[in-house]
Structure 1
Amino acid sequence: MRNDAFDLSRRSFLDRVLMATAGAGVAAAAPWAAQAAGRDPLAGPRVRIGVIGTGDRGRTLIRNILKTRNCTVAAVCDNFALNLEKGRALVGANTPAFADHRAMLDAGGLDAVVIATPLDLHARQTLDVFGAGLHVWCEKAMARTIKDCSAMVKASQDRGKVLQIGHQRMFHPTYLNALRRAKAGEIGPITQIRASWHRNTSWRRPIPEGSTDRKINWRLYRESSAGLMTELATHQLQIGNWFLEDIPTRVIGSGSICFWKDGREVYDQVALIYEYSGGRKLVYTSLLNNARYGCEEQIQGSKGTIEPELGRIYQEVPPKVLALQRMQEDVKRGHKRVVPIGGATWFPELPVTTPGESLGWGEYDETMLQFEGFGEAVRAGKPLPGLLAQAYAASVASLLGEQAMDRGEAMTWPTDLVKL
């Protein structure tokens, strides 16, 4: 893409964000997007970012940072030489590269750090970065335990540093437009959200020379991951909390190693129900041996349904009147009409297949925008409002769901969390 074409695409993207966050109530529900889009990324020096973790995800983040107009990658770090080499290839040989993140911090020349390492390393590395006086952008989920999530939040408050977690859907214009329309009452009161993330993959990666199974396949082991809950569910738990404008009161669930019996420790199939005030629910499922339904959220109200992952909004279709019911109503009114012999007395309640309406879809680069927002937060020395509270609640919800499945009992929302 040419620079001028990219600039046009970016302006259209920002315009869409501003449009989506306009209107009563929406700016209050997504203040970060309006604030990120409303600032000029060229108004100041570029924020110098060091990246810890240059594996597949880390390199994707680097590519997005390089698209921004207010950030630059000033250093890269990975303790696996092959990944470090791949990361350095994206930023150039003149960019300092380190095998130890503490050496990168000691070298100086940074304003902030991006953390894209295995989950169990997030908390320790975040605290190290805060200790060096720098700001942090960290991949989701936040940390391996609720205690560590809380420690990260508390440290950001005590140090006065930005802690931003990578929930990119909070910057996506389609989701923001979906929120706007839900806020406007187009689907009525939301009483249930169904969310799923289904894949057909073992999630097990080949082990390159010089590495180990637990280092490469860390998502499969309890010491470093909660599997489906921390690697996938946090995305959609955040969406549920966001649209319901609440946090769960409790969660029940069941998990199992049902298909991939290959020595993994984390579940390959989970099913949970998160309960919210007023009897509202989020029903979540995830599995690793069938991709038919993929990744989706169905936000259900009395007047309609929003499926933001598909970019569609649907209105409820009036139910069919059965032949016997219609005849009964005719008798009451004294009306006469032909009643077909063998007419349907029951209709199977199959999924409604109306086409719905588009929420607006396009080549939006929400990951790039969240980094521009992070850059502006670092410049100001203040976090984008509301972001951390959303991420913290989503991570806690994912880990609480793991506990509910492990213990086989309902888990209530913790009362000792850090206030945001």
Structure 2
Amino acid sequence: MMKKDRRSFIKNLGIAGATAAILPSTLTAETKHVNLLNRGELFGEAKPLKIALIGAGGMGSADTNTALRHKNIELVAVCDLYDGRLDDARNKWGSDLFLTKDYQDVLKRSDIDAVIIGTPDFWHKKISVDALNAGKHVYCEKPMVHSVDEGHEIIKAWKKSGKIYMVGSQGMSSLGNEKAKELLAAGAIGELNYAEGFWARNSALGAWQYPIPNDASTQTVDWKEYLSITKDRPFDPLRFFRWRNYLDYGTGMAGDLFVHLFSSLHFITNSIGPNRISSTGGLRHWKDGREVPDVQLGMFDYPETKEHPGFNLSLRCNFVDGTSGGTFLKLVGSKGSMDVAWNSLTLKRNAGGESDDPFLAEKAKEGSSRADRKKMVAPLETVYNAQSGYKGAHYDHFANFFTAIRENGSVAEDPVFGFRAAAPALLCNESYRKNEFIGWDPKKMKKV
């Protein structure tokens, strides 16, 4: 059962009255049924679930903290290749934790229901498949895969296992996205024709300049195991602690951030993805030996489907942004637009094509001998804000995961959805390197 306030919004209308927020009747005829997946908590006592964390860095630890906010969730084990993170895990979550550097030790335990995978990207596929084959439910951080060649292997293992697999693009489960999905289906912005997303950062940590521990060495890091599925190299703490900067381990700006925007867009529009992909960018500031750009742009063609008209998408990411930073997703249609954030949404509707261009104003007067009688008009801008007490998209994403496990249900971001969000993001990197358009079949999930 869903809590009643899960999808409730307060409408902040500025000078407009509350009654003016109702969409015009012309839109109601276009309203389609919207099936929003269950991300709510169960009332009453929930079945206890025991979880383990594999990869206890920043995101893995944040995921675990969010998971433990839910009732009847117990952390049993933590795996990481760095001693310092295992020590931190004991201090944060209890001295009785099972700690190990070998994730197979975690998968062998019969008392663990689900694992959170917070490792570098290049380990996602192997640990995911091994965990599913071991009968564990899986919550894997995005992107689901390190390369598009890995996607179908995870999907196959998931279908065979009968377990729940959730990809961690947590913002997808936000109230902002739910409201955008409802409004788009109601025709609030008319026919979608364009979307854009932007992610800006302006700090060293945000640009992946993560701190290097003073004790980083082969004595505290299992470097041999870290590289066991990729190219062997001498120990380099940058490649372990700042792994996002290197293509052997990470997926660049596109895999880290574009994938979030794809996930939200696909949820809102019911899209399965673009069929043409291009990307450009460059290394403009963080010239620290990294192999990936710190400014990246992507452009995508979405073909017409039964779910939506054809439209175009542009994405941009900037790690040298001198403004306040931030992120947004905008959907533009024939009658208006939506600026979508996790906790809010701004709906903007046009007034029938009026313009402040003096030439167009004069042309509009031609053929009219008298002024038309004035009419009642709806507000041109409506702002929706999440109610006070909203626990956030990360919390609700895990609620969907745990509820699906307990009810043998489904999740919002299963491996098929997750792969369709990850693949166009990863193909941005290929387009950037090759300086060419990339063809993609979003239905078959294969390169063209």
Q: Same fold (TM over 0.5)?
A: yes
Using a 3 Å threshold, how does the CA distance of structure 1 residues 181 and 382 change in structure 2: closer, same or farther?
Answer: closer
Specify the alignment match of 1:54 in structure 2: 56
Matched, 1:404 2:431: yes
Matched, 1:320 2:355: yes
Structure 1, 246-255 or 384-393: larger mean CA deviation: 384-393
- 2:413 & 2:242 partners in 1: Cα distance? 33
Using a 3 Å threshold, how does the CA distance of structure 1 residues 373 and 71 change in structure 2: closer, same or farther?
Answer: farther
Structure 1, 150-159 or 357-366: larger mean CA deviation: 357-366
Q: What displacement does 1:48 show?
A: 0.8
Q: Tell me how large the CA RMSD over aligned residues is.
A: 2.6
Specify the alignment match of 1:243 in structure 2: 268
Using a 3 Å threshold, how does the CA distance of structure 1 residues 259 and 385 change in structure 2: closer, same or farther?
Answer: closer
Query: Structure 2: which amino acid aligns with 1:243?
Result: I
Deviations 1:269-295 (A, max 9, x none): 111111011441110011210153521
Specify the alignment match of 1:393 in structure 2: 420
Query: Structure 2: which amino acid aligns with 1:92?
Result: G
Alignment coverage as a number of residue pairs = 382
Matched, 1:215 2:240: yes
Specify the alignment match of 1:271 in structure 2: 297
Choose the corresponding residue for 1:26, options 19, 26, 34. 34
Using a 3 Å threshold, how does the CA distance of structure 1 residues 322 and 87 change in structure 2: closer, same or farther?
Answer: same
- Tell me if structure 2 keeps the 8 A contact 1:70–1:375: no
What TM-score comes out, normalization by structure 2 length?
A: 0.78
Structure 1, 311-320 or 210-219: larger mean CA deviation: 311-320
Deviations 1:362-387 (A, max 9, x none): 44322222222212222344432664
What TM-score comes out, normalization by structure 1 length?
A: 0.83
- Tell me if structure 2 keeps the 8 A contact 1:145–1:399: yes
Identity among equivalent pairs (%):
23
Specify the alignment match of 2:5 in structure 1: 16
Choose the corresponding residue for 1:133, options 114, 135, 151. 135
Specify the alignment match of 1:348 in structure 2: none
Using a 3 Å threshold, how does the CA distance of structure 1 residues 188 and 101 change in structure 2: closer, same or farther?
Answer: same
- 1:266 & 1:165 partners in 2: Cα distance? 24
Matched, 1:203 2:234: no
- 1:299 & 1:156 partners in 2: Cα distance? 32
What is the 5 A alignment of 1:357-376? 357-362=382-387, 363-376=390-403
- 2:173 & 2:362 partners in 1: Cα distance? 53
Q: What displacement does 1:183 show?
A: 1.1
- 2:133 & 2:360 partners in 1: Cα distance? 72
Specify the alignment match of 1:151 in structure 2: 153
Q: What displacement does 1:305 show?
A: 1.3
Matched, 1:417 2:445: yes
- 1:143 & 1:114 partners in 2: Cα distance? 15
Matched, 1:307 2:332: no
What is the 5 A alignment of 1:277-292? 277-278=303-304, 279-292=310-323
- Tell me if structure 1 keeps the 8 A contact 2:252–2:429: no
Using a 3 Å threshold, how does the CA distance of structure 1 residues 360 and 133 change in structure 2: closer, same or farther?
Answer: same
Which ranges of structure 1 fall in alignment gaps of 5 or more residues? 1-10, 337-353
Q: What displacement does 1:66 show?
A: 1.2
Q: What displacement does 1:219 show?
A: 0.2
